[in-house]
Chain A
Amino acid sequence: MGTVLSQAVSGGQADLDVVAARRRRARLRAVLVVIVLLAAFSVWAVIDGGAQLYLQRFFDGITNGLLYGLAALSLVIVFKATGIINFAQGPMAMLGCYLALTVLEMWPMPVLLAIVIAMVVSGLGGAVLERVLIRPFDPDNHMAIIIVTLALFLGFNALAALVWGFRPLSFPSPFPQGTADAIEIAGARLSYQAIGTALLVVGAVVVLELVLNRTRLGLSFRCVANDVANSRLLGIDIGRTVQFSWALAAAVGTLGACLIAPSTYVDPGFMNKILVYAFAAATLGGLDSIRGALAGGLLTGLSVSLVTGYLPGVGSELGLVVGFAMIIAVLQFKPAGLFGNRAMERV
């Protein structure tokens, strides 16, 4: 059976291929525009301030960008499964970071181990949160759920202030952090801390891809992300899959916060600024794409580092403005982001 079919069905294939090719070209064009913009800015920057300064800014941008990408990933994971942006993701990651600090204080252990423990606990916490506060709501009522996440945003900030106070705490780096712990490339400093962080982020993304592509829960997640109604007909328990996405996002978010914390400090609001960059990264990458989130993070990190480092009048405290400007620009000119599919499908 199926032989006539095999020969006859190729009729509509040509059209589909054309659509796919057009989509690929549009994507390539958008990525090219961004790269050309960055390259042009870089050329001006090198001429203006010299190669060494530029390289330093570039390294800073890439390191920060990977962390923004990781934070964006935690937004993307929940968005893919539910179509909802979890505004509480920043404070959730902040709580995870405090948790790691507390664990370190109570039992002396390697920093990395404390981070892993905090990730596991936040994962469980994310799962409980989904079950208790998110699942009771109609999943199609996005507004209600988003308001719940906004309430959690405020609640978690207050909770952290209550438990740990407002005093900024320092977070130990899992990597050597002295002034000598760095390699020099053409006069620019690339610290072991930055290299180690970058390797951890890449490792985390590889593990995440393996979980999503090689496990049963990962397959369920990809089905639900694609089509909830049809996933139900596959026998997939939608609630449990969404719960899995919350747990995964919470663990990824905590890792991100713990890797960001050594270069900032920990206080109840410390992830809120990062959340803006994560939003910029996620919208740029296209909210529903994992690789897009990472690429978006790199582009956001680079842009913020270069713009605040070179444009007179835009000091480092105006980095947030750059983040917001990027969000607005993406939503204005390319709502689907560089790698996303959702908005493009509607066209």
Chain B
Amino acid sequence: MTEPLLRMSGVRAYYDGVEALHGIDITVDTGEVVVVLGANGAGKTTTLRSICQLTTTTGEIRFDGDLISGASTSSIVRRGIAMVPQGRGTLGDLSVEDNLLAGAVTRRDKGVAGDIASWYETFPRLAQRRHQTAGSLSGGEQQMLAIARALMLRPRLLLMDEPSLGLAPVIVRDLFDVLARINRERGVAIVLVEQNAVLALDIAQRGYVLEAGNLVLSASADQLRQDDAVRLAYLGN
């Protein structure tokens, strides 16, 4: 078996010395969409923050075979892991165009202008508002900008934290179409933390269920959809 793109082994995470993750093992293969389910406070966001080393962790995290636990967030991002945090993570005072440029601020190649043009093609709404500040965009537009900005990094792994939060249902459906298409066309692996389990499982191949900082279930998306406990807790039937 080849080495997965991301491998977390026995990862524990701490906030001010209090353990929030109690040793979890997660793998993500190249080009795969993996969903992380769990109740509020189960440690979903902490899992994503651990990957980017935004919290203190112990245990081993490897990206593409290289040890990244203990590295700085900026060096991890430069390796090709982009995260869209809860609340979008766009820079409200900067224009839409500057946000996209900022997404590529660590890149040294000549393709940045071309990438921005292609995102404007994908989201014409962003092109119209390119000189407006990101803070003046609506929630849906900001989420689109956040995704485009994250992909300006040309990452191999995209971490999405609750992208549907605060968006109208029709926009959420569209958002997941976009994510599925990014995964299919660009081969970007995605780790998706999401309350909307129905839609998330639709585009995911595999999933994990977290409970109070422990991993309680790891299965394919189909198996998760059939699982009684998951159906009861996250699918509402």
Once the chains bind, are B98 and A219 in contact (CB under 8 Å)?
Answer: yes
B52 within 8 A of A: yes
Q: A2-B124, A16-B136 are in contact. Are A223 and B170 (CB under 8 A)?
A: no
A230 with B140: in contact, given A2-B123, A223-B102 (CB under 8 Å)?
Answer: no
Q: Please tell me if the beta carbons of B123 and A236 are within 8 angstroms of each other in the complex.
A: no
Contact of A230 among B75, B85, B137 (CB under 8 A): B85
Q: Which residue of A lies closest to B139 (CB)?
A: A12
Q: How many residues of B contact A (CB 8 A)?
A: 46
Cross-chain contact B92 with A5 (CB below 8 angstroms): no
CB proximity of A21 to chain B, nearest CB, Å: 11
Q: Does B217 touch A at the CB level, under 8 Å?
A: no
Residue with the greatest number of chain A CB neighbours at <10 A, chosen from B82, B94, B122: B94
> How many angstroms from the CA of A226 to the CA of B72 in the assembled complex?
21
Q: Contact size class for A?
A: 20 to 34
> Total A-B pairs in contact (CB under 8 Å)?
120
Contact between chains at A9 and B171 (CB < 8 Å): yes
- Give chain A interface residues in 8-33, CB to chain B under 8 Å: 8-13, 16-17, 20
* Residues of B contacting A13 in the complex (Cβ-Cβ under 8 angstroms): 137-138
Residue A235 lies at the interface, judged by CB distance under 8 Å to chain B: yes
If A9-B140, A232-B54 touch, whether A226 touches B125 (CB-CB below 8 Å) is no
Chain A binder among B5-13, B173-181, B201-209, B227-235: B173-181
The answer, yes or no, to whether B168 is at the interface (CB within 8 Å) is: yes
Contacting residues of chain A (215-237) with chain B, CB-CB under 8 angstroms: 216, 219-220, 222-223, 225-227, 229-237
* CB of B106 within 8 Å of the partner chain: yes
Contact of A235 among B98, B105, B174 (CB under 8 A): B105
Residue among B78, B138, B141, B149 facing the most chain A CB atoms (10 A cut-off): B138
Known: A12-B138, A223-B94. A233 touches B171 (CB 8 A): no
9 example contacts (A-B, Cβ-Cβ < 8 A) are as follows A2-B124, A4-B171, A20-B136, A226-B93, A227-B92, A233-B85, A234-B103, A234-B105, A237-B72
